[in-house]
Structure 1
Amino acid sequence: MSIAYDPDNIFAKILRGEIPAHKVYEDEDTLAFMDVMPQAEGHTLVIPKTPSRGFLDAEPEVLAKLVKVAQRVGRAVKTAFDADGLTLFQYNEPAGGQTVFHLHMHIVPRREGVPLKRHEGGMADKDVLAAHADRIRAALGQA
């Protein structure tokens, strides 16, 4: 049984400009912005603008564009935060850990020996998120 896409999910509202976000990259197909409950400094989300509930219902073309931008943004995140590596998360359905039902990829910069914070650990300070977004945009050459 397939569950329909909900156009009132928080990411759809961000795409429509109803909810603010600290954007780091945008093109005609995708948007990248700071996660408000980061698991590490620089935790960034990349979403398609095409309504897709998750990985399994997205058109292959949407996935291809999403992954291309996630790689570009991931390189910038790694550079901006001088990270040792990156962890990418992409959850599907409640049993898979998905809590926002709009396809999205998490890009989390990692440092050796530093554990991730809990994702439900509270909202980050908006000024800190704005500064992190500035760093990523600078690494993308879009400052």
Structure 2
Amino acid sequence: MASVFTRIMKRELPGRIVYEDDHCAAFLTIAPIRPGHTLVVPRLEIDHWIDLPPDVLRELWSASARVGRAVDTAFRPRRVAALLAGLEVPHVHVHLVPINSEDEVSFSKADHDPDPAALDDAAERIRAALG
């Protein structure tokens, strides 16, 4: 059965996709820790990042860097944190979170009912920064 991330990439489920290439896609999470919190996901469904083939791992980090730069441009945080911490979906994903302090990187701070207009705005800002 396809993961929820694969279903978003295939447009079977809605998602605010901000970036796509042949190897990866990036879209906003539905439970952001901070505005602009974006997930970068390889198209290959593998549960744990240490099991990714080297070429897929390279593509994932390349896409993460590209999208991370766009998040940085769009939100101007002190840093864009990159986390490989997801346990809720058995499909590797990099969390890109714009932060101004390390205490902002806590999944306990996730907004499980974000304003759809704020998510749309964040997605447009990231897309614009990507060009």
TM-score scaled by structure 2?
Answer: 0.90
How far off is 1:121 after superposition? 3.7
Quote the Cα distance in structure 2 between the aligned partners of 1:53 and 1:115: 26
Which digits, 9 at most, give the CA deviation of each residue in 1:27-71, with x for residues without a partner?
111100001100011000000111211212211111100000100
SS in structure 2 of the partner of residue 56 of structure 1: helix
Return 5+ residue gaps in structure 1 as ranges.
1-6, 92-96
Q: Residues 61-100 of structure 1: matches in 2 within 5 Å?
A: 61-91=55-85, 98-100=87-89
Q: Residues 1-143 of structure 1: matches in 2 within 5 Å?
A: 7-91=1-85, 98-112=87-101, 115-116=104-105, 118=108, 120-141=110-131
Give the RMSD, CA atoms, in angstroms: 1.8
Quote the Cα distance in structure 1 between the aligned partners of 2:117 and 2:54: 36
| Structure number having the greater helix percentage | 2
Identity of aligned residues (%): 37
Quote the Cα distance in structure 2 between the aligned partners of 1:22 and 1:121: 16
How far off is 1:120 after superposition? 4.8
TM-score scaled by structure 1?
Answer: 0.83
How far off is 1:20 after superposition? 0.6
Code of the aligned partner of 1:11: F
Return 5+ residue gaps in structure 2 as ranges.
none
Q: Look at both structures and tell me which one has the larger radius of gyration over its CA atoms.
A: 1
Code of the aligned partner of 2:6: A
